[in-house]
A and B are shown apart, each in its own frame.
Chain A
Amino acid sequence: MILANGMIYGSEEQGKLLADLENRINATRSGAPLPAETVISALDRMAEKMEQGCFDELIPEPELREAVGFAAGMLHKDALLHRMQTELPALPAEIGRLQVRRVPLGTILHIAAGNVDALPAFSVIEGLLTGNINLLKLPQADKGLTVRFFQELLAIEPVLTDYIYVFDTPSSDLSGMQQLAACSDGIVVWGGDAAVSAVRQLASPGCKLIEWGHRLGFAYVAGNLAQTDALEALAAHIVTTRQLLCSSCQVIYLDTEDRAEVRAFGERFLPLLEAAAAKLPPDIGADAERSLRRYTAKLERLLSGKVPQDRTVLQGEGCSVTVCTDNALELSEMFGNVLVKPLPQAQLLPVLRQSKGYLQTAGLICPPEQRGALTELLIRAGVNRIMLPGEMSGTFPGEAHDGEFPLQRYTRIINILT
């Protein structure tokens, strides 16, 4: 399904639409720019519609409806204005002889990943807020929610018609992807290394790339007696995110070199993890998935011959803690199966540097007097979010994304001399 010129087309119309796309974009760009107020007020009305349940038929799962409510909160006028002010603070009108102005990047191609349902729409919204024309390539997993969202939005504000194009071009359609890229001043890509590398091949050297790649999260625990409530919050985070998010905790690092201490921590943490897992509603499908993945991973290890050196799996009910002796940041088996590793403060920076480009969130558990120094150390090692253990995956108004304010990347600063 394609959304272009405010209308729905079948995928087979792609060729015709792409052939005319550059002309249409140029016509739009020759006209008056898209005022942010128009976008904000349209999104505000959209948020109301969402809260009234206009997507309920498409979203049967109650827990996902909750997510829609949450998403709607981010689209309300105050939230958007707050975000604009934070990310795009006012520029001085002139600096010396120069006039200074912020304008849209131009045309942005969004290549969205399928791991969060609302992501494709959110990426385009960021493009709209900054006044850009947006070409969206849908992820394969999209089930029609995104197109429906924009249809509703266009019904609210028809002016946006010329700023939103949604294509269902498969990534394998190289020529289609190239035509989309050729129309764009910038490409936003969400996804794994394969997706990012593919886009680097696709884009001409002059095209700006905005890459939101995959990341790995971890927790750092320092101090002899980590408080039980902090560990409980961490356990709840691990279980509820199922360790599937970039910000999810995969590894718990302990500020120690002592193997016995790592083991003792694992034994202390397991019952907390079990208690958190027991609170999840019983879900036969998720349990089956988890068991099957663990079993498959075990067979993979047998096949590769790489039996992890000195690892002890402490098996719990519906979860596990693996006590390790190495200190590499790596993906856990997910679904409530966390790794515990020794990492004394002195080694923290060099070890984390080996994962540069993949660092994002650290959940820090430590005595208050160490918090400042450890936070600085994590920052110097390349971590972008230092969070409380229970809120590693929290979303906050005004927060940066992987070390940047996204809206700034979707704009350019203009200098004019008169």
Chain B
Amino acid sequence: MGALERLFAVRDPFAAERTEAVFVKAMQENCRYQYRHCPEYRKILDGIGFSPSDLNSTEALGELPFLPTALFKKHHLTSMPGWRIPVKATSSGTKGQFSKVGLELGALWNGLWMVLRMAKYRKLLSLRPVNYVILGYQPHKGNDMAVMKTAFGSTFLAPALHRCYALRYENGRYTADLEHVLEHLRRYVKAGHPVRFMGFPSYTYFLLQMMEDRNVHLQLPRGSKIMLGGGWKQFYREQVDKQALYDLIRRVLGVEEENIIEFFGAVEHPILYADCPAHHFHVPVYSRVLIRDVRTLRPVPNGTPGLVNLLTPMIKATPLCSVMTDDLGVLHDGCECLCGLKTPYLEIIGRVGLKEIRTCAAGAADILKGAAP
């Protein structure tokens, strides 16, 4: 069994200390694989002067060249022929700039175990049938957005009686229809089966706010859960309102805080992060987080803010072993959280500098590159 398989066979998703050696080994195997199969990745490692064999210790994880998410938006990086990549996901880029990331069967298999272990940790696995309210996109074949896929995937953690969607696909476009959701929600409450919400925190907030404005207060059946998730970005923006959202959920749906579970992940780092009961995102064994100094890009100790660098050996089809996000964050020592988990937890504090490239000089350069010798 390779190091990767051993890593994903570990039952406790937060047993980081015990799995340190196997994580490093799996990273080295992955790095070597990418180096052999992705010509662009090889160019980068050669150019920087890093060899996969250098990746032999925890410290060396910090030396491994990382790829910024911007690179995946510009280049289609792949380490496998297309036919071996059954799942292709894209980030929900708003400016027409999005990353394309492929996942091979092995990664999906490992990902399934990861999801099941995280779901078990947050007591989401159940055989009791439930009704699902998806405050997100209805699946259809032209939509590769990862948020949609994870939302749909989450409806298999407990058998689904029915699913209803806030963003419905009709006549070739998505339209938001909260009325439709509310109608179904009333029916679900009457039916008496547990209800599970899954979706963006913002939509959840809108729906519940709308219900409260109309003085609609429901008591969801026992065993109901509210799952919140989206990209990193949504997570960061909504963070300020977190407690307000929890209070709203309690008032409007009668669901207590312990049954509210938040997730996050990114297309370029498809590791499922679920929050602990204290709503902190502890780093699971499948992943490592390095915070890097904003000027030198060297790793900094826990507690210091910097750029968020995410590492995982899970995916072979795309060189995602060390990815640099454009988020700013802090990694806190696990002992600072009262939930009992020992692995550090990540707090996102913002995004890098300018929100988008707002420059007129850059535009002129594009054509000059083509024109000048």
Q: Which of A17-25, A71-79, A87-95, A325-333 forms contacts with chain B?
A: A325-333
- Label chain B's interface by main secondary structure: mixed
**Within 8 Å CB of B373, what residues of A?**
328, 354
Given contacts A192-B366, A295-B297, A331-B364, contact A288 B353 (CB under 8 A): yes
> Which residues of chain A (283-328) have a CB below 8 Å from chain B?
283-292, 295-296, 299-300, 302-303, 305, 317-318, 328
User: In the complex, are the beta carbons of A288 and B352 less than 8 A apart?
Assistant: yes
CB-based nearest B residue for A335: B353
**Within 8 Å CB of A243, what residues of B?**
361
Q: Which of B13-21, B66-74, B216-224 forms contacts with chain A?
A: B66-74
**Within 8 Å CB of A65, what residues of B?**
none
A330–B373 CA distance with the chains assembled, in angstroms: 11
**Within 8 Å CB of B47, what residues of A?**
299, 302
**Within 8 Å CB of A192, what residues of B?**
360, 362-364, 366
Contact flags A112-151 to B (C-beta < 8 A → 1, else 0): 0111000000000000000000000000110000000000
Q: Which of B46, B296, B358, B366 contacts A244 (CB 8 A)?
A: B358
**Within 8 Å CB of B369, what residues of A?**
330
User: In the complex, are the beta carbons of B372 and A193 less than 8 A apart?
Assistant: no
User: In the complex, are the beta carbons of A295 and B361 less than 8 A apart?
Assistant: no
User: In the complex, are the beta carbons of A358 and B353 less than 8 A apart?
Assistant: no
A213–B350 CA distance with the chains assembled, in angstroms: 32
User: In the complex, are the beta carbons of A302 and B365 less than 8 A apart?
Assistant: no
A116–B364 CA distance with the chains assembled, in angstroms: 16
Q: Which of B95, B351, B367 contacts A285 (CB 8 A)?
A: B351
The answer to whether A246 has its CB under 8 Å from any CB of chain B is: yes
Contact flags A349-369 to B (C-beta < 8 A → 1, else 0): 000001100100000000000
User: In the complex, are the beta carbons of A331 and B365 less than 8 A apart?
Assistant: yes
A284–B297 CA distance with the chains assembled, in angstroms: 12
**Within 8 Å CB of A358, what residues of B?**
364, 367-368
Q: How many residues of chain A are within 8 Å of chain B by beta carbon?
A: 47
User: In the complex, are the beta carbons of A299 and B353 less than 8 A apart?
Assistant: no
A302–B251 CA distance with the chains assembled, in angstroms: 55
CB distance from B292 to the nearest CB of A (A): 8
> Which residues of chain A (188-241) have a CB below 8 Å from chain B?
191-194, 213-217
User: In the complex, are the beta carbons of A302 and B48 less than 8 A apart?
Assistant: yes
The answer to whether B294 has its CB under 8 Å from any CB of chain A is: yes
CB distance from B358 to the nearest CB of A (A): 4
Q: How many residues of chain B are within 8 Å of chain A by beta carbon?
A: 44
The answer to whether B123 has its CB under 8 Å from any CB of chain A is: no
CB distance from B361 to the nearest CB of A (A): 6
A100–B40 CA distance with the chains assembled, in angstroms: 65
The answer to whether A245 has its CB under 8 Å from any CB of chain B is: yes
User: In the complex, are the beta carbons of A284 and B294 less than 8 A apart?
Assistant: yes
The answer to whether A250 has its CB under 8 Å from any CB of chain B is: yes
Given contacts A285-B352, A291-B307, contact A303 B43 (CB under 8 A): yes
**Within 8 Å CB of A113, what residues of B?**
360
User: In the complex, are the beta carbons of A245 and B44 less than 8 A apart?
Assistant: no
**Within 8 Å CB of B352, what residues of A?**
285, 288-289, 292
**Within 8 Å CB of B367, what residues of A?**
193, 358
The answer to whether B326 has its CB under 8 Å from any CB of chain A is: yes
The answer to whether B62 has its CB under 8 Å from any CB of chain A is: no
**Within 8 Å CB of A107, what residues of B?**
none
**Within 8 Å CB of A296, what residues of B?**
68, 70-71
CB-based nearest B residue for A285: B353
The answer to whether A184 has its CB under 8 Å from any CB of chain B is: no
Q: Which of B296, B354, B360 contacts A246 (CB 8 A)?
A: B360
The answer to whether A169 has its CB under 8 Å from any CB of chain B is: no
Listed residue (B294, B295, B306, B356) with the most chain A CB atoms within 10 angstroms of its CB: B294
The answer to whether B195 has its CB under 8 Å from any CB of chain A is: no
The answer to whether A254 has its CB under 8 Å from any CB of chain B is: no
Q: Which of B68, B294, B358, B360 contacts A299 (CB 8 A)?
A: B68
Contact flags B266-308 to A (C-beta < 8 A → 1, else 0): 0000000000000000000000000000111100000001110
Given contacts A141-B356, A215-B360, A288-B353, contact A354 B366 (CB under 8 A): no
CB distance from A173 to the nearest CB of B (A): 13
User: In the complex, are the beta carbons of B363 and A290 less than 8 A apart?
Assistant: no
**Within 8 Å CB of B95, what residues of A?**
140
The answer to whether B324 has its CB under 8 Å from any CB of chain A is: yes
**Within 8 Å CB of B44, what residues of A?**
299, 302-303
**Within 8 Å CB of A244, what residues of B?**
358-362
CB distance from B293 to the nearest CB of A (A): 8
**Within 8 Å CB of B295, what residues of A?**
287, 291, 317-318
**Within 8 Å CB of A290, what residues of B?**
353
Contact flags B14-46 to A (C-beta < 8 A → 1, else 0): 000000000000000000000000001001101
The answer to whether B214 has its CB under 8 Å from any CB of chain A is: no
The answer to whether B141 has its CB under 8 Å from any CB of chain A is: no
21 contacts between A and B (CB under 8 A): A114-B358, A115-B360, A192-B362, A192-B364, A213-B364, A214-B360, A216-B368, A244-B360, A245-B360, A250-B361, A285-B350, A287-B353, A291-B296, A292-B68, A295-B297, A299-B44, A302-B47, A303-B44, A329-B368, A334-B361, A355-B371
* A interface residues with partner B (beta carbon < 8 Å): 113-115, 140-141, 191-194, 213-217, 243-246, 248, 250, 283-292, 295-296, 299-300, 302-303, 305, 317-318, 328-331, 334, 354-355, 358
Q: Told that A113-B360, A115-B360, A216-B364 touch, could you supply 17 new A-B pairs with CB distance under 8 A?
A: A114-B358, A140-B95, A141-B356, A192-B360, A193-B366, A214-B360, A214-B363, A215-B360, A244-B360, A246-B360, A290-B353, A302-B48, A303-B75, A317-B295, A329-B372, A355-B371, A358-B368
**9 pairs of A and B residues whose beta carbons are closest in the complex:** A192-B363, A289-B353, A331-B365, A214-B363, A302-B47, A214-B364, A288-B294, A244-B359, A288-B352
